[in-house]
Structure 1
Amino acid sequence: MMTPSQPYKKSVKRAKELREILSKYSYAYHVLDTPSVSDAVYDSLFSELITIETKYPELVTSDSPTGRVGNELLGGFKKVTHSSRMLSLNDVFDRADVEAWVVRMDKLLPGARHEFFADIKMDGLACALIYENGILVQAVTRGDSYVGEDVTANVRTISNVPLRLRDAEGYKKFLIGRTEIRGEIVMLKNDFVALNEKRRAAGEPEFANPRNLAAGTIRQLDPKLVAARPLSFRAYDLLRQAATDVPTNMYAYEALSALGISRNKEASIFGNLDGVMAFIDEWSEKRHDLPFDTDGLVVKVNDRAQFAELGVVGKQPRAAVAFKYAAEQATTVVKDIVISIGRTGAATPVAVFDPVVVAGTTVQHASLHNADEIARLDIRVGDTVVIFKAGDIIPQVESVVKELRPKHTKPFQFEEALKHQYPELSFIRPEGEVVYRVKGATGVLLLAKAVQHFASKGALDIDTLGEKNVVALVNAGLVKDLADIYTITKTQLLRLDRFADISAGKLIDAIADKRKPLLERFVYGLGIRHVGTQTAIDLINAFKSLENLRNATIDQLKAIDGIGEVVAESVAAWFADPDNETLLTKFGELNVKPVFEKKTGKFTGQNFVVTGTLESLPRDEVAEKIRELGGTFQSAVAKDTTYLITGGKVGESKLKKASQYGTTILNEKEFIDLLEK
């Protein structure tokens, strides 16, 4: 019998934890009407559980929230069975998903021409209004999709819900018999703001968001309380016993307006997918200006006969989908907290987590700013956290889902982490400040050293930009970060004592000549801790572009030969630092474009190590010649070392390892001969 793997055991534990917390959140939302998290957080955890159960179907339990739509209904309201199930929709997220949806329909209805109907998806409480002979007789919430709650008394208080349908020419049939109108009860954003302002003035706690307030209000037992809150109803469907009464979805909307029912005016029909996608793109930004909250659009087949013929699978109709815009919140697990040292000596903590999509992009680390912020959030390694994007750009940790916290986690000790990650440095936290800084090093000194390294021979090799010139530029305020060297003008240099016309011109030309440096030299020049010349080469050979390297996970970094956890964390922390992100953006704006060139030559695939003192060639020059010919320069003998080059005062341990691994040993002359072959 096979023993369960470690990942499987973790999945079993994680699935159990997720079921428990989702059940807790669902109870608070559906039964108590006191939602404790946003929809985005619930959906993110729900999605994680689906992923686990899809990978390990045997973990699906009878009480898993993935197997049902709703929860126990709140007591106090009469239960009502819907005339037809209030279905949910499958979610789609991009054009490929939409095209796949159409392909599935085409297989069922080959040759059929589809006209598409699209509308803004409202974020409210789904409700059905039932009219008999034009008079409102009942209002029922969605409930579990089969059975809802009779909230007629409360819905009658909503001012834009007509108690009698309008007698409109051409639509009189809807005043005869049963007419059902489905839609969303919402609180418009302006009404929500005004209501919170009143509560603030009265010293009462403010409500969290319009959607939750609308849902909670409509379930209040006292209609007077409901009437005091400005709710609105917006319809999205019209049902009749005779399906031919409503031939298309657009006709339904036209009828709704004629009957005096509020509906979205943005709804449109399209003859092809290009039109649908243009509509989706248009509302990607414009949706923020709508009077109500939304997280996407609904796209349907316009023809109701086609809609019915395509049928239903499980809980979703085949002829409609919900296009969801990128979530602005998501959950993920913190794998580590690493500390980055910026150019001013400031120590910035960075949370490194499993990659997660937030607002349309994949993020895997976020600045935690300082020790006080870590303490405020009480964020620990192993925590499940809520991620959001500030201004849709910078990922931030919003909160910790403490119910999912693993046992035996410890609060993050900032000073201990500094000692562990930077044992050779000392740090101080000046009185009145929240930031720890490197002791004994000013921002100017650190910047000068960083620029010297960037311009050094092993990095960009910028001629005439040596130590004294760098110090002069930094002291004059012409260089405040690495990218600033590309902004310097000859006129500015001539104002400094160190430069005359010829020397100033040479420096400007030398800098301009390095606007397209080799990518591995550029990465080395950035001064990322633990990233030497060979490590930079290994990183670039693995990822082949700066963008790929910026987005690499710690696990991807560790997968590279010779790169362990310390280096991987250091690289991830550097690229996660907001100051460094700004710096890289600035390089791009200044048209500095590092290039990737895979080195090939007679040493391609061969690895070299040098031990002892060489007489005719400096060690750096040997390493450079090896790399130019496609070889790899290693710091220690390993199983994959091809040649060990020996000089004077040879290291016995390297000779022993070379003999053990069958590595070819060359003296200095033999290596030179090999170079010249």
Structure 2
Amino acid sequence: MRTAPTPGQQIEALRDELRHHEHLYYVLDEPKITDAEYDKLMNRLKKLEAEHPALITPDSPTQRVGGKPREGFVKTPHSRPMLSLDNAYNEDELRAWGQRVRDALPASESVQFVCELKLDGLSVALHYGPGSHGSAQLVRGLTRGDGTIGEDVTTNVRTIRSVPLSVSAAKLKAAGLPQSFEVRGEVVLPQAAFVKMNEDRVAQGLAPAVNPRNAAAGTIRTLEPNIVAQRRLDYYAYFLLENGEMLLPAQSATLDALRAAGFRVNQHARTVANIENVIGFIQEAEPLRETLGYEIDGVVIKVDSTAQQRRLGFTGKAPRWAIAYKFPARAATTRLEDVLFQVGRTGKLTPVAALAPVFVGGTTVTRATLHNADEIERLGVRIGDLVEVERGGDVIPKITHVVEEKGSKTPRHKITFPAECPRCKTPLVREEGEVDWRCVNASCPARLEEELRHFASRGVMNIEGLGEVLVAQLLGHSIAEHEADDALGENGDAPTGAPTRKALVHSVADIYTLKKEDLLTLERIGEKSADSLLEQIERSKQQPLNRVILGLGIRHVGERTAQALADEFGSMDALIAASADDLTRINDVGPKVAEAIREYFDNKRNLDLVKRLRTEGLTFTAEKRVRGTKLEGLTFVLTGTLPNLTREAAKEKIESAGGKVSGSVSKKTSYVVAGEEAGSKLDKANSLGVPVLDEAALLRLLEHGAEVA
């Protein structure tokens, strides 16, 4: 009988899952769940943390804005954070937001709202500076990144034809703009360009992109401007700033000024007097989804007045003066014809529904995730059922429910999980307290394929060119076999057929022993491609220790934990020798993660792999973070928005000085550090008599130690 997980275990599991999907979405552009599913996970976590406030930590996904910027471009701070928006999914939630806005402003003031389509693309900030003859010229383009720091993609932005390279003095005058200003907007890939891009990819033997949003994000981050130019991206502007502050007195005036300055502004925008009119706009906008030629997933509603926006302010992660109304997921009905089982990098077995082809949200869907055995039981679904399929965030489709049929003679069969791994025939294991079945064979070919993809991916060892088609060939599959077996497409399944040629790699370490003559035996690999890949493989040896740790694929060890392990131990040897107690002393490592790390390094096969990677010259040491002692024994709680430091930066400074950062206030709290919009934590600190510091006082404490308190 399985033991029910504790609230702490539930919270940690949700955090791990959310961090994983943030990394996929914000860093790798490879989301695996819909926006609606992500929001449900986040709301579950928020609810649990509200019920157990003592378990809230500063690094919880509920306390942050978004993911980290990816490498390959220069990182540059934003003039002001590019925050995400809170969401509303129905009219009641939208009315409740409107009432909160109304209640926060004087009753004597009228409130207007601006409604704009929520474009499904990539947020980009454009910075303009003085040009010749009184003009303004484009000087920088930044992606959203983690909201605080973006990636400089100026060269690529310049190839987007709807982005003005300069704005004439006459247009500046007409728009009422200075020579230096900032524009924020959305980069999108029109549907026609998306179709053309996928036709080209298929012709080149590459897997088609999942949807226009991911394609736009991947394109703007490519290191080849020529490719960006060919993709025909578009840019829609919606914000104007000067030195990080709103430039004009109203959002409606901002849109007018952007149009006057020559920027593309979406024509579907309207200023309205109340929430009922907002709802009217939404009802008109939703049917447009199929006719616009680009993807939208909702409507953004903003308080029009800039002065009112300032007074309404921000929460920790979103403005109070704006909200995104998300359209319902697009759905269709089809037949469940079969269930296939894919094996992931950690051995997890995922059931995937094979569907009769159906058109949903602009894409023909033939596969949908079923997640796990518990989800199948909850749905009560069987092979042969008529089912409703949904594409909420237009990423991976999912079955939402079984459609009742009267008088159907279609045979129906219970879905049975295999007793053995479908690839290596090892008996599957389901650990106590878990919902997933796993293949525990570390040498399983399906696991190896996923390990190779993970190891070579951009956020890990960054081996350009070592994608899924080439990985399949290295494991002995032809391209034709891979394409035939790649029926799961966007789910990233490993081929199910047996290799028909000799495999060139049997572990990730074998990547480093590949020779040019080996690569030239593969399909569609010529001299230039082989040389380029070998150069990328050699360059990957320079990746830092945290990337190597991440590349090992240790269960529960993601990007943040890998960095914490490298910082704390300073070498692979020290990490291997660390006990479970040593590991759990690190903030990002709990008992579950510590157990997984020890389990990994206690396995001889894994130690042999690490030994080979050392022999091949990968980085096995890092500069160990030396913690100070000025704040040793002190516990801090951070709340509100500080003038200069982000929460992560403040946390880093406190921990580097030997202090500890907690997520909740108690009698044991030494100090609460409060910024603007500090909430209930500040109230609790005052009620308990806990000293409260502003940013300046925190910096003095960091410099001089506890004696200044």
| Superposition TM-score, scaled by structure 1 size | 0.49
Q: State which structure, 1 or 2, has the greater radius of gyration over its C-alpha atoms.
A: 1
Kindly indicate whether structure 1 or structure 2 has the higher relative contact order, using CA contacts under 8 Å at least 6 residues apart.
Answer: 2
